[in-house]
């Protein structure tokens, strides 16, 4: 139950903020605040952690709502608030814009801090090694097949300027704060992952960019992270990067991304030939470690013997995989790679046997390097021999990298060795084929099909409380798919708050008569090519969304040069750059037409004149040969359900709501949405999807596109 003190704090903060900004109180926003606060009031009651799911339509003002609802309660109970966004860009918007406005205008007194992963921060030890070009760095780069060019004066000059800015206190080592964009090939050598980081034992620890940023979290009431960082922390047991989960209230913004990100986070991958090449590069490393006194003769012999057995087993599994592929009837194509998905994740017995051997061998190899890592730590802690300490510091990141890669391989092969229990959703397991400059390789992947188990065990049972919110979380008016994919507990509270927009008077939904189903891809493409000059105003701003890159490119090629000049295609620019060019065209009084895929169907904010027409090629059904979705569909069918109606239709409805939502971003926006898919009208499932869209004014078959 909420105390009067907390209620008063929330109400007062909301009134002050509304008055300061001269805003009109919104019913949906007030409802969201009240329901979140009511749900989380059961924290510390001894019951299961409270979970609240709030679907808040565009224009609700959800950031303000969840901050005002959660922070006063968290402060009263002594909890930390962790706001987790889907991307780093959204993190920065919350930290640089939303939270400062709330602090300034609400009367609430709270501190906040931005949290990012290690990969966003420069490692001083790595910077030193890069500038010195020592043997350990060269050995590391050689191990991973990366060239270190000492004559690269451009990079050397850049790294020296970084050191200058750090020393002067003008930069804190955050990649996102550097004056100009940093390409990954330049930045990656400067970062350290968990296995490479020496922590307090590093001679640079006092000035460490990552740990200094992390220290600022200790005193903060609110920490703004992202989904990936939260999942990384939970995978490490919780409390390793962020505060202890049981003393945190998590707010997941854009929460529809969480199940997918969780699956990606707990998936594993390896390539056979690349791993064999890596093993061969490990052999001289063993000799160097022995020469430097960090590996005795017996340890070197054991490790070398393990490498021999690993190479032998990998060669065997390569032959088995080739044999398996030669026997299958069909190899799919996914993400521009040929692939084969094991039905229901079931791996043939002969592959499982070798996988079990490889899991055991990689585990032993990783453990042997764990022993070396422990010895290096002792030498660094001792510190009596300065030269030995320096050599140990140089070796530690390399040894950590080998150990981490060995453990990752052990996890992959362990996954391929086990048989999923009956009645449980299986893991997805698949093979992919890579051909890089004539060098063939076979990749093996394993992923959870549902994020449910990982999120249940690591988050929903351990957190203080959680709020999941986004403009779109339900599908076909229900939260069933989210509940299944995220494993939300039975006591979860659900709330759907409609957008305050006047959809019927602001937007028109047009479904033209085209006498063609999208399955006839050639004709469907020709219809879109003919429709664009007929239906799009070339003097205004439009967004055309495709589900197929091939169709997008075919449409571009089929249009006249005059229309091609108007198009900004996502394949030709970075997203931020494309949006900037598009906005400039409109600001200059010109027209602009964006062509994009699924990444442009959400998270793209083009208010007012920047988008007055959204065109959608077809119902955005998921790619049918996604290995994870294929495995889930097969399992759903095994349960006696129809996977198309259970999974595909709700998912497509969800995506179509998001795509059409690119049009109205503010209450004053107007425009139209055109969808080139008659199935929304003539199919039963299409009518269900159409009914789930906002109540736009509809023009069904009033316009005909004929070839």
Exposed, middle or buried, 460 (CB in 10 Å: 0-12/13-18/19+)? buried
Higher pLDDT, 154 or 95: 95
CA–CA dist 603, 594 (Å, integer): 15
- Residue count of the chain: 707
**Residue 378, token pair as written in the block:** 């002792």
**Residue 474, token pair as written in the block:** 């339900």
> Strands 567-569 and 541-545: what pairing?
unpaired
| Residue 280: other Cβ atoms inside 10 A | 11
- Residue 429 has phi, psi (to 5 degrees) of -130, 130
Comparing CA positions, the residue from 11, 8, 68, 12 lying closest to residue 40 is 68
Q: What domains lie within the chain, and their CATH numbers?
A: 4-115+217-263+451-497 (3.40.50.300), 118-213 (no CATH), 267-447 (no CATH), 503-704 (3.40.50.300)
pLDDT of residue 440: 87
Whether residue 146 has pLDDT greater than 80: no
pLDDT of residue 330: 62
Three-class secondary structure of residue 509 per DSSP:
strand
Alpha-carbon distances of 12 from 61, 75, 105, 222, rounded to whole Å: 17, 16, 11, 20
Q: What percent of the chain has pLDDT over 70?
A: 95
Q: What percent of the chain has pLDDT over 90?
A: 72
Whether residue 125 has pLDDT greater than 90: no
Q: Which residues of 410-443 are buried (b: 16+ CB within 10 A; e: fewer)?
A: bbbbbbbbeebeeeebbbbbbbbbeeeeeeebbb
Comparing CA positions, the residue from 76, 81, 117, 104 lying closest to residue 220 is 81
Which of 185-189, 259-263, 384-388 shows the lowest mean pLDDT across its residues?
384-388
User: Please, what sign has the CA dihedral across residues 393, 398, 401, 405?
Assistant: negative
> Tell me: the pLDDT tens digits for 434-446?
777 667 899 999 9
Facing residues of 567 across strands? 593
Alpha-carbon distances of 577 from 99, 431, 580, 648, rounded to whole Å: 26, 35, 5, 33
Facing residues of 339 across strands? 332, 432
pLDDT band at 151 (very low <50, low <70, confident <90, very high): very low
Are residues 617 and 529 in contact, defined by beta-carbon separation less than 8 angstroms? no
Whether residue 382 has pLDDT greater than 90: no
Backbone angle region of 125, left / alpha / beta, with phi > 0 → left and psi within -120 to 50 → alpha: alpha
Given the structure tokens 């764990």, which residue do they identify?
370
User: Please, what sign has the CA dihedral across residues 403, 408, 414, 420?
Assistant: positive
pLDDT band at 694 (very low <50, low <70, confident <90, very high): very high
Indicate the average pLDDT of the chain: 91
Are residues 40 and 50 in contact, defined by beta-carbon separation less than 8 angstroms? yes
Given the structure tokens 């007030």, which residue do they identify?
30
Are residues 345 and 431 in contact, defined by beta-carbon separation less than 8 angstroms? no
Whether residue 424 has pLDDT greater than 80: yes
Alpha-carbon distances of 40 from 5, 66, 79, 471, rounded to whole Å: 15, 11, 12, 21
Which of 5-9, 190-194, 409-413, 667-671 shows the lowest mean pLDDT across its residues?
190-194
pLDDT of residue 647: 95
| E strand or H helix that includes residue 562 | helix 561-564
Whether residue 319 has pLDDT greater than 70: yes
pLDDT of residue 383: 67
What is the torsion angle, in degrees rounded to the nearest 10, for the CA atoms of residue 635, residue 639, residue 640 and residue 644? -40
> Tell me: the pLDDT tens digits for 588-637?
999 999 999 999 999 899 999 999 999 999 999 988 889 999 999 999 99
Arithmetic mean of pLDDT, 413-430: 95
Q: At a CB cut-off of 8 Å and minimum separation 6, what does 484 contact?
A: 450, 452
pLDDT band at 213 (very low <50, low <70, confident <90, very high): confident
pLDDT of residue 437: 64
Are residues 138 and 148 in contact, defined by beta-carbon separation less than 8 angstroms? yes
pLDDT of residue 381: 77
pLDDT of residue 334: 60
pLDDT of residue 214: 81
Whether residue 15 has pLDDT greater than 70: yes
pLDDT of residue 85: 95
Q: Which residues of 664-674 are buried (b: 16+ CB within 10 A; e: fewer)?
A: bbeeebebbbb
> Tell me: the pLDDT tens digits for 513-536?
999 999 999 999 999 999 999 999
**Residue 317, token pair as written in the block:** 């599994």
Higher pLDDT, 679 or 423: 679
Which of 63-72, 334-343, 412-421, 462-471 shows the lowest mean pLDDT across its residues?
334-343
pLDDT of residue 695: 96
CA–CA dist 305, 369 (Å, integer): 14
Whether residue 140 has pLDDT greater than 60: no
CA–CA dist 248, 50 (Å, integer): 12
pTM: 0.90
Given the structure tokens 């007929």, which residue do they identify?
534
Q: What angle do CA 493, 494, 497 make, to 5 degrees?
A: 140
First to last CA, the chain: 65
Whether residue 145 has pLDDT greater than 60: no
CA–CA dist 537, 521 (Å, integer): 25
Comparing CA positions, the residue from 600, 617, 705 lying closest to residue 663 is 600
Whether residue 147 has pLDDT greater than 50: no
| E strand or H helix that includes residue 429 | strand 428-436
pLDDT of residue 272: 96
Alpha-carbon distances of 335 from 332, 597, 624, 674, rounded to whole Å: 10, 13, 12, 27
User: Please, what sign has the CA dihedral across residues 264, 266, 272, 273?
Assistant: positive
Q: What angle do CA 382, 387, 388 make, to 5 degrees?
A: 50
Whether residue 143 has pLDDT greater than 60: no
pLDDT of residue 134: 56
Alpha-carbon distances of 185 from 270, 389, 496, rounded to whole Å: 21, 29, 44
Whether residue 414 has pLDDT greater than 60: yes
Are residues 668 and 505 in contact, defined by beta-carbon separation less than 8 angstroms? no
Supply the angle between the helices 124-132 and 153-167 in degrees, to the nearest 10.
Answer: 140
Comparing CA positions, the residue from 323, 336, 319 lying closest to residue 548 is 336
- Residue 196 has phi, psi (to 5 degrees) of -90, -25
Give me the helices (H) in 266-385, please: 272-291, 297-327, 349-382
């Amino acid at each position: 139950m909420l105390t009067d003190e907390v209620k008063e704090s929330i109400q007062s903060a909301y009134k002050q903020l509304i008055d300061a900004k001269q805003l009109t109180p919104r019913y949906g926003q007030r409802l969201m605040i009240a329901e979140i606060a009511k749900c989380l009031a059961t924290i510390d009651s001894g019951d299961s952690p409270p979970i609240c799911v709030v679907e808040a339509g565009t224009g609700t003002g959800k950031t303000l709502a969840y901050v005002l609802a959660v922070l006063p309660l968290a402060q009263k109970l002594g909890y930390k608030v962790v706001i987790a966004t889907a991307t780093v860009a959204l993190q920065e918007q919350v930290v640089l814009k939303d939270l400062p406005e709330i602090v300034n205008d609400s009367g609430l007194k709270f501190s906040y801090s931005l949290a990012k992963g290690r990969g966003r921060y420069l490692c001083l030890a790595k910077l030193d090694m890069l500038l010195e070009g020592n043997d350990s760095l060269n050995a590391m780069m050689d191990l991973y097949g990366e060239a270190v060019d000492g004559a690269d004066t451009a990079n050397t000059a850049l790294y020296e300027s970084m050191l200058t800015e750090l020393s002067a206190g003008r930069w804190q080592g955050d990649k996102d704060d550097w004056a100009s964009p940093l390409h990954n090939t330049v930045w990656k050598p400067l970062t350290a992952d968990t296995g490479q980081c020496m922590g307090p034992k590093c001679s640079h620890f006092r000035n460490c960019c990552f740990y200094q940023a992390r220290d600022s979290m200790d005193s903060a009431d609110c920490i703004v992270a992202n989904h990936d960082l939260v999942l990384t922390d939970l995978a490490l047991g919780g409390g390793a990067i962020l505060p202890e989960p049981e003393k945190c209230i998590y707010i997941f913004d854009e929460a529809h991304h969480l199940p997918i990100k969780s699956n990606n986070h707990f998936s594993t991958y390896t390539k056979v030939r690349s791993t064999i090449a890596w093993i061969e590069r490990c052999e001289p490393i063993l000799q160097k470690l022995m020469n430097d006194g960090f590996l005795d003769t017996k340890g070197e012999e054991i490790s070398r013997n393990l490498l021999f057995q690993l190479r032998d087993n990998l060669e065997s599994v390569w032959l088995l995989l080739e044999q398996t592929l030669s026997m299958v009837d069909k190899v799919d194509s996914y993400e521009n790679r040929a692939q084969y998905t094991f039905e229901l994740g079931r791996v043939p017995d002969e592959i499982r046997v070798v996988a079990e051997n490889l899991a055991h061998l990689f585990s032993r190899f990783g453990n042997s390097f764990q022993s070396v890592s422990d010895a290096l730590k002792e030498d660094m802690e001792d510190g009596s021999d300065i030269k030995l300490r320096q050599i140990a510091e140089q070796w530690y990141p390399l040894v950590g990298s080998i150990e981490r890669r060995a453990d990752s391989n052990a996890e992959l092969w362990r996954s391929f060795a086990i048989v999923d229990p009956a009645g449980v959703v299986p893991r997805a397991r698949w093979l992919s084929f890579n051909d890089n400059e004539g060098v063939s390789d076979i990749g093996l992947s394993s992923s959870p099909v549902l994020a449910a188990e990982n999120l249940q065990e690591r988050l929903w049972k351990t957190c203080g409380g959680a709020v999941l919110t986004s403009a779109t979380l339900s599908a076909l008016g229900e939260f069933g798919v989210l509940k299944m994919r995220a494993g939300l507990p039975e006591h979860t509270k659900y709330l759907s708050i409609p957008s305050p927009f006047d959809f019927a008077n602001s937007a028109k939904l047009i479904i033209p008569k085209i006498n063609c189903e999208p399955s006839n891809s050639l004709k469907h493409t020709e219809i879109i090519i003919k429709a664009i000059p007929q239906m799009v105003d070339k003097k205004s701003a439009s967004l055309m969304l495709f589900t197929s890159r091939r169709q997008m490119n075919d449409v571009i090629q089929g249009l006249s040069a005059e229309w091609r000049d108007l198009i900004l295609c996502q394949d030709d620019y970075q997203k931020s750059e494309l949006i900037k060019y598009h906005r400039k065209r409109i600001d200059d009084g010109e027209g602009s037409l964006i062509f994009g895929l699924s990444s442009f169907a959400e998270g793209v904010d083009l208010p007012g004149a920047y988008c007055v027409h959204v065109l959608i090629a077809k119902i955005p059904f998921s790619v049918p040969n996604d290995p994870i979705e294929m495995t889930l569909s097969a399992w759903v069918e095994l349960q006696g359900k129809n996977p198309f109606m259970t999974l595909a239709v709700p998912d497509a409805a969800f995506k179509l709501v998001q795509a059409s939502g690119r049009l109205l971003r503010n209450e004053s926006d107007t425009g139209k949405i055109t969808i080139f898919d008659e199935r929304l009208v003539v199919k039963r499932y299409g009518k269900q999807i159409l009914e789930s869209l906002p109540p736009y004014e509809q023009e069904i078959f009033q316009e005909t596109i004929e070839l």
